[in-house]
Amino acid sequence: MRVLVIGASGKVGKALLNSLRIRSRDDVEAVGTFFSHPDPTLLHLDVTNHEQVKDTLFKLRPDVVVQCSAITYAERCEEEPELAWKVNVESTRHLVQVCRDLNSKLVFISSDYVFDGERGNYSEVDEPNPINVLGKTKVEGERLVSRLPKHLVIRTAVVLDAAPSSKSFFRQVVERVGRGENMTVPNDQVENPTLATNLADVITDLILQEENGIFHVAGATPIDRYNLTLRICNTLGLEEDLVRGVPSDSLGQKAKRPKNLALSVNKVKGVVKTPLLDLDGILEDLVKEYYSYLPKGLYVFPLRVHADPRGTLTVLVSQGRPDAPNADVIREVYVSSIPERGIRRAGHKHNRTDEFFNVESGTAKFVLVDDREGMPSGREPVSIILSSKYPSVLSVPAGIYHAVVSMKPGTRIISMASKPYEPGSPDEVKLELEAFGPELNYG
């Protein structure tokens, strides 16, 4: 089976291409395209260029085509309705014709915005009734795709990932609240947050099982946007007081938002083996993904808290234990107690010393600049948030500038170093705090 994923540089397309390549092994040849985000592993394709689309599909002759390329931001669809119709509908119309000529199956990624949000718990047999341009383009796309004898329509919602370049709601919360900014979100819009990788795995199941028709594929927990924001903040130890929930009508958004878009996912649960994650599982995986985007050699190790009736025990570093980061040698351990939020510390690198950091209480943001020779990061600052809410250890090898800012009063950081501090010959190279960029500022 050859599968073509159109829009494989986006959240859903990237996760799906990866899922197809990993989970199907040799059963599937998966090919992806990009439009505005160049990737040497993908083919360039403009879905609005019908001749290019036809030439590409006739050259590849895919058994399955997945249309992930679309304008999905509701506000932009209201601002540019003609463009939204051109990308979301007319390109789909042409894809339907080419897939019919090639006898290819077409998988169309749709949205919960096809419904009006008046009652929630929508199933696949409920009649769509969109109230904004995005929803109307998706309904028309579904109608076109459903004309094919072999097709899948996937309705999903609030797709989340943790990639630094992502515009997903998870990244918006982490970046804005993580800078100490106030964030106003609607408290009356209920949807099913969905993990991009979980969505991709379920779509892969549906493709490999050669299912047809409409399926709701979304997270198992409906929740309003305000409480979702609080849950994200709580998971990473961010300040929940910075978040304010307000009615949708007070936000002045151009696109009318449906209020209750809770989706029933019972149909797909009865068809595929991959479980749809609830919100706890989604947040757990998002945090792991968030910590995976660090320069080579740096990592965040999630710690295991051993608990019994006497209390808890956590191993911070060890040699060879599977439940703690590995340290060849630790020669010095010290604790930094930071009384107030917004205090910046460190701002240096070590040439010979490796360090491990654990936030014992509170929350802190570490900003890192990789100064090692031959590393591809280009000295661009990278930030990562650590909290006692999520017990973990950040490993910072020698050669990486690091600074830290406290995000809560009373933050305590345990630092473990492979070499002791020597006043006569300090292994320390200073870097001006301004060089760490605005991420080192808080509040």
State the pLDDT at residue 379: 80
Full set of structural domains in the chain with CATH: 2-163+186-223+252-280 (3.40.50.720), 294-440 (2.60.120.10)
State the pLDDT at residue 367: 96
Residues of the chain with pLDDT under 50: none
Using the 8-state DSSP alphabet, how is residue 88 labeled?
Answer: I
What is the rounded (10 degree) CA torsion for 370, 371, 374, 376? 30
- What is the tens place of the pLDDT at every residue in 250-298? 999 999 999 999 999 999 999 999 999 999 999 999 999 999 999 888 9
Task: Report the alpha-carbon distance of residue 252 to residue 260 in Å, rounded.
Answer: 19
State the pLDDT at residue 345: 95
Which pair of structure tokens corresponds to residue 250?
A: 């007070």
State the pLDDT at residue 192: 98
- What is the tens place of the pLDDT at every residue in 154-202? 999 999 999 998 999 999 999 999 999 999 999 999 999 999 999 999 9
Among residues 23, 259, 24, the alpha carbon closest in space to that of 121 is found at 259
Provide, rounded to the nearest whole percent, the portion of the chain with pLDDT above 70.
99
Q: What distances in angstroms separate CA 99 from CA 29, 48, 145, one per listed residue?
A: 18, 16, 10
3-class SS shares of the chain: helix, strand, coil, % to 5? 30, 30, 40
Q: What distances in angstroms separate CA 420 from CA 316, 327, 334, 396, 412, one per listed residue?
A: 18, 15, 10, 16, 20
pTM: 0.94
State the pLDDT at residue 377: 57
Q: What distances in angstroms separate CA 62 from CA 17, 107, 134, one per listed residue?
A: 14, 12, 28
